[in-house]
């Protein structure tokens, strides 16, 4: 067999925590050939992203490459100067990060940023690069691929921005791409197309790829081989089909079986929240049309649908951030003022929100105690000893030690950050919490912990949830009722068991059939089934 494009031997990396250096990658080997995809999986803290960045000869702040061998196309990255490595990055080695919002300059259009590296390094001219970028936009299933590049980052959805970042990485036709959780922000229907496009691009251009993910079903569709990491060490590595059918190690088998939660759905006669014929728009663009949704007290209603279906807009209407054009929001039997500024402190206190990205939802310079303490002061006037005691109670409630109050967000894992965001919402003592994709950025073991925590809190406190998600497995785990949305309308709603039982409206069938399965060849079958469900106009019937 030919020499690998990337060869890593006995790679060791230190991280600086608790005022000293700790070894976080402990002698890992890795080989990767042209046209091959290696999947890296493992729970938070396993070292997946750290190892992926090391493949570029890079260590993030707070980390250092200490020893080992990293050879890319015959070049020793460990011995290479930083200036030479920088010339490789973005051209011959590209990186697709999880957080697209942080990867784009808000002052420049998508097209300018997509083509910048290819043009600046002479890979192709401006016009050629722009045409190729539009081809990539189409391959990434972006709307209006000929013109979407003229938009600025804030003018597209998070999922669209994630796909644009993938196109940006591919534009210079690199030899190696490191994909770091690139489909986390995507709904299931979009994810199918994007995964297929990524896989096709890798094969068509004979590109090598490292695909980092916590989604086992996704890596099963993308990777030729899978490497499992834990605590910075390799657990095992096998070809994908063999790994799925016969994992050798107990830890790998535990990853395969982790998502076993399923809450039996049930409704209730008392409604904490009702949306009645809500129509909403951004400027002159309608986004919700006569939406009716009811949330039973003490229960969970999941809003599902692809990007642009109106899920997050519905949350903005409930919270008063987007006043509806018409219709009413009824909370606890009384109409809420449409605009946030006209709601009383008591009305604000009863509805809280937990956001998808805990990283950007907390001030990095404030301690956990300060973050949780703010709603205690604002809503309940707490300070001093009473506030400190309540912060300790809330931390214990979310299964964190009270000593976490002194830590900064940067000292927490992803799961711990999300728990702190849950504690902040609970500090207000709300009756309804809107959870917007709160587990999508977390690995499956941490997801399970967060879902179990939310279920326990609901049972103990009687709080109601609106759970916005594109993850059908999460819906099975936490929802009592399901609302399926499509292009700003409610397609169907009802108890979870009723919604998931066939026959389905075509759009619900499309959603359910787009959930990645842990079996080889699923992606090809899913693409074929989608073609059958989509009519000749490229639209999906909703009833």
Rg over alpha carbons for the chain, rounded to the nearest Å, is 24
**What kind and span of H or E run contains 28?**
strand 20-32
pLDDT in tens, 179-208: 988 877 677 777 777 788 778 778 887 889
Instruction: Please state, as a whole number, how many other Cβ atoms lie within 10 Å of the Cβ of residue 40.
Output: 28
CA-to-CA dists, residue 259 to 75, 358, 403, 482, 483, angstroms: 42, 22, 30, 19, 22
Q: Would strands 271-282 and 326-331 be described as parallel, antiparallel, or unpaired?
A: antiparallel
Check: CB of residue 198 under 8 Å from CB of residue 210.
no
pLDDT at position 458 is 93
What integer pLDDT is reported at residue 259 of this predicted model? 55
* Tokens 């967060």, located at residue: 450
Burial of 142 (0-12, 13-18, 19+ CB in 10 A): buried
Class in CATH terms, 271-501: alpha beta
| Structure tokens given for 62 | 């707070």
How many CB atoms are closer than 10 A to CB 296? 18
> Can you read off the two tokens belonging to residue 403?
């000593």
Residue spans of the domains in the chain: they are: 6-256, 271-501
Q: Checking DSSP bridges between strand 464-468 and strand 300-304, what pairing results, if any?
A: parallel
Produce one character per residue of 101-126: b if its CB has 16 or more CB atoms within 10 Å, e if not.
Answer: bebbeeeebbbbbbbbbbbeeebbee
Dist CA 443 CA 455 (whole Å)? 18
Q: What is the pLDDT of residue 512?
A: 79
- Condensed to tens digits (0 to 9), the pLDDT of residues 319-351 reads 999 999 999 999 999 999 999 999 999 999 999
How many other C-beta atoms can be found within 10 angstroms of the C-beta atom of residue 521?
A: 11
Which pLDDT belongs to residue 543? 42
C-alpha span between 119 and 127 (Å, rounded): 9
Q: What is the CATH number of domain 6-256?
A: 3.40.50.300
Strands 225-230 and 233-239: antiparallel
- Sheet containing strand 75-76, edge to edge, reads 20-32, 6-17, 63-72, 75-76
- The owner of tokens 């709160």 is 438
Beta bridge partners of 40: 212, 227
Between CA 435 and CA 467, with CA 153 as vertex, the angle to 5 degrees is 10
> Alpha-carbon distance 269 to 272, whole Å?
10
The ranges of the chain with pLDDT < 70 are 1, 158-159, 185, 256-261, 441, 520, 529-543
């Amino acid at each position: 067999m030919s020499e690998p494009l990337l060869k890593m031997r006995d790679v060791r990396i230190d991280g600086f925590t608790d005022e000293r250096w700790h070894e976080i990658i402990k002698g890992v080997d890795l080989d990767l050939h042209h046209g091959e995809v290696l999947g890296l999986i493992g729970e938070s803290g396993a070292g997946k992203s750290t190892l992926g960045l090391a493949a570029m000869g890079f260590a993030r702040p707070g980390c250092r490459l200490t020893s080992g061998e990293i050879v890319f196309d015959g070049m020793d990255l460990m011995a290479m100067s930083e200036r030479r490595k920088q010339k490789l990055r973005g051209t011959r080695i590209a990186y697709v990060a999880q957080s697209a919002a942080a990867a784009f300059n808000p002052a420049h259009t998508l097209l300018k940023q997509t083509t910048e590296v290819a043009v600046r390094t002479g890979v192709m001219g401006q016009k050629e690069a722009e045409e190729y970028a539009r081809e990539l936009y189409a391959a990434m299933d972006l709307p209006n691929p000929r013109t979407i590049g003229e938009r600025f980052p804030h003018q597209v959805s998070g999922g669209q921005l994630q796909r644009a970042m993938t196109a940006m990485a591919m534009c210079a036709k690199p030899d190696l791409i490191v994909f770091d959780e690139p489909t986390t922000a995507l709904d299931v229907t979009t994810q199918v197309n994007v995964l297929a496009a990524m896989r096709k691009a890798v094969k068509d251009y004979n590109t090598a790829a490292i695909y980092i993910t916590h989604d086992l079903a996704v890596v099963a569709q993308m990777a030729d081989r899978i490497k499992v990491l834990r605590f910075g060490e390799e657990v095992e590595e096998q070809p994908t089909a063999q790994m799925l059918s016969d994992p050798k190690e107990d830890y790998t088998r535990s990853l395969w079986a982790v998502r076993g939660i399923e809450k039996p759905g049930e409704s209730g006669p008392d409604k904490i929240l009702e949306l009645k014929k809500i129509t909403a728009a951004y400027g002159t663009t309608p986004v919700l049309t006569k939406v009716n949704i009811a949330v039973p007290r003490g229960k969970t209603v999941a809003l599902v649908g692809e990007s642009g279906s109106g899920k997050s807009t519905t949350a903005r209407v409930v919270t008063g951030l987007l006043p509806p054009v018409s219709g009413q929001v009824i909370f606890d039997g009384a109409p809420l003022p449409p605009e946030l500024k006209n709601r009383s402190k008591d009305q604000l206190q009863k509805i809280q929100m937990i956001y998808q990205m805990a990283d950007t939802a907390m001030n990095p310079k404030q301690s956990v105690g300060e973050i949780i303490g703010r709603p205690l002061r604002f809503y309940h006037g707490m300070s001093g000893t009473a506030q400190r005691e309540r912060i300790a109670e809330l931390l214990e409630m979310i299964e964190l030690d009270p000593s976490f109050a002194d830590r900064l967000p940067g000292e927490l894992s992803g799961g711990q950050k999300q728990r702190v965001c849950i504690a902040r919402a609970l500090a207000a003592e709300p009756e309804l919490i809107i959870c917007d994709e709160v587990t999508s950025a977390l690995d499956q073991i941490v997801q399970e912990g967060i879902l179990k925590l939310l279920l326990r809190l609901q049972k103990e406190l009687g709080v109601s949830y609106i759970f916005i998600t594109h993850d059908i497995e999460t819906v099975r785990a936490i929802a009592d009722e399901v609302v399926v949305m499509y292009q700003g309308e409610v397609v169907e709603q009802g108890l979870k068991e009723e919604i998931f039982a066939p026959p389905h409206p075509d759009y619900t069938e499309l959603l359910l059939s787009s959930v990645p399965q842990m079996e080889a060849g699923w992606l090809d079958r899913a693409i074929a089934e989608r073609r059958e469900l989509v009519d000749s106009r490229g639209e999906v019937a909703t009833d």
